[in-house]
Structure 1
Amino acid sequence: MSKWPLDQYDVNGFAVIEDFLTEEEANELHEAGLELCKNAPENDRAVFNTENKSSHLKDKYFLNSANKIHYFYENGALDDQGNLLVNKSVSLNKVGHALHALNPTFKKYTFDERVKNIAKQLGFKKPTIPQSMFIYKNPKIGGEVKPHQDATYLHTEPISITGFWIPTEDATLENGCLWFIKGSHKHGLDNRLIRNPVRNSDEFLVYDKPSPAYSQDLFVAAPVKKGSLVVIHGLVVHQSELNRSEKSRFAYTFHVMETDNVKYSPENWLQLPKGEHFPELY
C-alpha cells in the first residue's frame, strides 16, 4: 500500500497531496465535468446560492438528489421561470450528488486504489461514499462558499466525515482556491443543518443554531495545482472566495464516511430512499 503524506492532516485539519492524479487523469475528470454541462437538462433548473436560503433550502430538487445527478445553477443565471440569462457553458454552480455512483468517469476516480489507500491511512474500516459534486467556479461569476464545516451538513456520531477535493485546473488566489482555519477541527462542531422538525413549514431545512462569525484574519490560503488532492477533516472550517479572474476553477469533490460503530443522522439533508445504501469504498 502506498504511503501518502498526510502528516498535516491531524495538525491542521487538512492535507495537500500534490500530483495525486496525472495530468491526463485530471484532464479526463475535467472533460467529464464539461460533458455534464453540455448535457444539462432543459427542465428542473435550480439555483444554488449559499447566501439565499430560499433558493435551495426550500427546494425538493435539492433534497431529492442523494441518488441522482442534479444540476444547480449560479445565482443570476436563471430568471423566475428557469430560463437561462447567461451562456449555458458558464451557468452551472455545481452538479451532484451521486456522480460517484452513476457516472462511469467519476465512479472510476472515486473508487481508485489511491483513494482507498488514503482512507485506510486515515483509519477508515468500513467507509462509504455518501455524496459527490463537480463544482464549476466559472470566470467572473463563480460564487463564493461561506465559511463552514462539512460535518454541519453530513453529521455522524461520532464525527467521521472527510472530504476529498481534486481540482481539475490550478486553484489560485485569483480564481477561488480553498482557505482554511488551521487547527479549527479540534474545537468541535459549531452548528448543524437539519431537516425541519416543524411540519408544514415553508423551510425544509434549518440550522439548529446561528453560524458563528469567523474572523477572516484566521484563514490561510491553500492554492494547489491541477490534479492535487486536498483531504479535508469534517470539522475544519474552510471557505472559498468569488472567482473574479478570467480563468475557471473546476473541481471534483466527494466525501468518505465511516459506518463501523458510527451513526449517520436521520436529520441530515442528504437521505437515500428506504432500502438504499451509500456505496462502500472497499
Structure 2
Amino acid sequence: MRLDRQQIDSFSEDGFLLADGFLDQAEIQHLRVCYMETLERLKQDRALENVQSGSDRDEDFQVYQIRTAHLRHPVFRMLINDSRLLDMVESLIGPDIRLIHYQGVYKPARTGGQIRWHQDNDYFKVAENRTISVWLAIDDATVENGCMWYLPGHHHQLLRHEQLWDTSEKKGFYLAIPDIDDADAVPAEVKSGSFSIHHCLMPHRSLKNES
C-alpha cells in the first residue's frame, strides 16, 4: 500500500495523514476478536506492566493498554510485518524500518479517559526526521468516542513537556505540554481498518469517550 505523491506531500506539510481502507471487514473482525481475547487474558493475569483502572475488585479491574503487543499474540506480529503496512511506512521514511514501540489502546464508552497534548518524541528521543507513529483503528474513531486531535503544521520542534502523575485512572507517569494554543486543532476521525499516521513531533491528544 504505497502512498502517492499527494499523500506524501500532505504528510510533510501537515505532520499527519489519514489513510483509509487498509484492512477489510473480515481482517478487522479477526483482529478485534484477538485483541479482546488478549485484553481478557491480561485482565485475568493482573498484568502489572499494563495500564489498569479501577479497584482491586474483580468487577472493577480493567486493562486499558496492551504494551509490547507483538509479544502478546501472533496476529499482532503478523500485522507489523504486513507488506501493505511496510510499503506505506517506507513511502514516508525509507526502507530502513525499525519498530520502537507497539501498543494497543482500549478506550471503552464512559470510562475511557483523555490523553493530554504531547509529542511522541519526548518519550522516544530518537531521530526526529525519520520517526513516525502509525495508529490503526479497530473500531470507528470519532469525536464522540475520543479520537485523536492534531495541530496541522506544528511538527517542526520539540516543545517543553511536564512530567506528571495521574492518580484518577491509575495511569501513572506521563508527559504533557503545559501551555499550547490549540485553536487550530483538528479531529482525526477514521473508519475501522484505517490508519492515522503522524510525525514524532506532531502534538496530539485525545478526549474522553463520551459515547
TM exceeding 0.5: yes
| 2:196 paired residue among 210, 213, 230 | 230
Percent pairwise identity:
24
Q: TM-score, normalised by structure 2?
A: 0.84
Shift of 1:240: 0.5
2:97 is equivalent to residue 127 of structure 1 = yes
Q: TM-score, normalised by structure 1?
A: 0.64
Aligned to 1:179: 149
Aligned to 1:19: 21
Alignment of 1:157-168 (within 5 A): 157-168=127-138
Q: Contact 2:18–2:197 at 8 Å: present in 1 too? A: yes
Aligned to 1:154: 124
- Cα distance in 1 for partners of 2:43, 2:129 equals 36
- Cα distance in 1 for partners of 2:189, 2:69 equals 25
Shift of 1:36: 1.1
More deviation, 140-149/158-167? 158-167
Query: Structure 1 pair 229/193, CA: closer, same or farther in 2 (3 Å)?
Result: same
Aligned to 2:207: 241
Aligned to 2:52: 73
Aligned to 1:249: none
Shift of 1:211: 3.0
Shift of 1:150: 0.7
Query: Structure 1 pair 226/43, CA: closer, same or farther in 2 (3 Å)?
Result: closer
Aligned to 2:179: 213
SS at match of 2:193: coil
Aligned to 1:189: 158
Query: Structure 1 pair 45/119, CA: closer, same or farther in 2 (3 Å)?
Result: closer
Shift of 1:165: 0.4
Residue identity matched to 1:150: D
- Cα distance in 1 for partners of 2:11, 2:73 equals 29
| 2:33 paired residue among 31, 34, 50 | 31
Question: Of Structure 1 and Structure 2, which has the larger fraction of its residues in helix?
Answer: 2
Shift of 1:177: 0.8
Aligned to 1:170: 140
2:95 is equivalent to residue 95 of structure 1 = no
Which has the higher Rg, Structure 1 or Structure 2?
A: 1
Shift of 1:85: 5.2
Q: Contact 1:190–1:212 at 8 Å: present in 2 too? A: no
Task: Flag structure 1 segments of 5+ consecutive residues without an equivalent.
Answer: 47-60, 62-70, 195-204, 246-282
Task: Flag structure 2 segments of 5+ consecutive residues without an equivalent.
Answer: 164-172
**Count of residues in Structure 1 that have an aligned counterpart in Structure 2:** 201
- Cα distance in 2 for partners of 1:160, 1:84 equals 43
Q: Contact 2:22–2:193 at 8 Å: present in 1 too? A: yes
Q: Contact 1:139–1:243 at 8 Å: present in 2 too? A: yes
- Cα distance in 1 for partners of 2:208, 2:194 equals 21
Runs of at least 4 residues off by over 4 Å: 41-46
